[in-house]
Structure 1
């Protein structure tokens, strides 16, 4: 979709005649009469494309966000170029004209909607989260290099990173998770950086899960640090990773990989002065609640709660994080899968419930299909009901609906062409998806 090839309508209010801003004449001539409809507003004739329209309130255009389409006046004169940030001057100009909404008409597919400004994402918050995440990755990359070289590390820096990452988490966790999930990650120059990128994400998800469960400050710090250092032993096994610095599925069944949590714990114990609970947490991350884990096969009753939290967050990211695989599973499917696995005793039910309560079943920014078959995007989590968020429909007018008080409900998630995701089928619910090679073997037909 090229936004400049669209008709942009501005309407003052529902009861006033809208001022119509139209696409350039050269563009309108490119469409045959069968694809357009002739209308007249305020004695001005123009062609308005009859494709679906997507409306954004001007008050929802956040200062600093990049406008994804050109704004032109009725004569075709460019007012604000696509790709430039929205400014206070632009908003004041629109208000002075009585403009209350922006309606984008044209060939806008569902994949284009991800670039529209969303009121749930304060640009200042996005910039701040990106800055903190980048700073955490930088600290972790240096820490991993030091550990690889058998140097003693300062755990205080990691504690500060956890505090920084979780500052807004109590009230903004769903939005922050979406910001982190959609943050573009460039090509990593080294394995230490690739592991640091993933470890920073894991630290955030684990920490907010602990926050959602009402854990104390010190426990949350320990959970975050354990998450950051859980995969440090991977630095000794560069051959586990492919040329894109992604873990090879076949590695996950090798003896070395099945011992990597214990190896990481030993490395941390030798190189840092950390709480014993952190070391023990890391050593238990491959254990499973029903006793089928490794290396000791201990049951849930003997596992630390912190280890259970990091483990569930790790599996959630492994299956749902678009940075870790080209076509991840839908987040809601992953959470449903964890609920199913918890029912079988493999994971802790209360921790899975805490993760859902904190992050929401349908994350902010996710596209969903409603019971009336319309598409909508989640704009805000509902803290009182994580299964029924607040959504904005993608139809003309863009209705905002609180599903907790609506007769509508979510049928299921919807994918976009630019960021595809896949479903977890009923047949896959009993498969150990967190063990890539094992799950491939289990899914093979007999």
Structure 2
């Protein structure tokens, strides 16, 4: 669903004008729609009916407590990659028994804290991690259920920086080495390898990489069972793409089509399934608002300098990512478009949110809306150039609330310590 539309000439989040939020809370500011979060979750939940399956929200996409709570209230678990994310999930109301701990570099102290908390499953990504986890489990007198993340060597045909399922990626254990890894795990008295996991990348728009990967894992499950392993779970990860650019051929598959493919490819396998969506649940449920500081005409194009910058939304700089950007006030029909760079005030040439973008006329004080910013936006922000972290707002119908206050400069400076000898 699209909860951000023009009504009466103004873009609204559900029933709240975005310009009102910008005026009341200030800019830059992230705004999320609760209705969109719920609708995205329900699309998955409905499509999963009839499957022996669970959904664990990938917290890394957006780790605000209110966002996690919104999904937990619908029945979602959590997929985490750090103890910090575990603490967030627990604080938001996710039961430890509904948390899956993934990640390529878990420290011993993190594994210990996860086991002490009682997380459902550890997804192990190396033989060295197997050894560390076994030692921790032994010290706690536990036998731990684990899955091993297998790298199926499938090209997800996504951006190089967010593909994770090829042999050249740091994630998981190569599928050619998987049987040895499971034998190694089975030799440990405090580990019980009962699952196979994968995650092949992010912003994936085609079903075929998933189909190829599931077929490879299905074959592996058969081999592992022949080897004597009691494989009960299949963790299929996430990575489902969303629309970032409305006027393009970027059309992700429907979640219902994905689940139908999963039904076909896992029929008769006898494994409980786990899905770990992140971006597809929150991406299009959020926007970033910025205010135009000034317009700077150039000979080749116009620069519109806004108060939102690369430290607030790094995706365009880091991934060359596209986000649709529109004024909060609906442009007049037939408005003249000009090649425009939407840039921030950061002292970096890479500080841009859009380049050479056809835009209607903008002026100082106008509010612009950076769409599809609910995933990997606020969660990847920084305080570069001593710019405080921006607030986050959650809209529910005709009401809204600040779910993360704007960081003050005093708060930011208070985090530093100057030695007495200076």
TM-score when scaled to structure 1?
0.27
Structure with higher RCO (Cα < 8 A, 6+ apart): 2
Tell which structure's C-alpha radius of gyration is larger.
1
Which has a greater percent of strand? 2
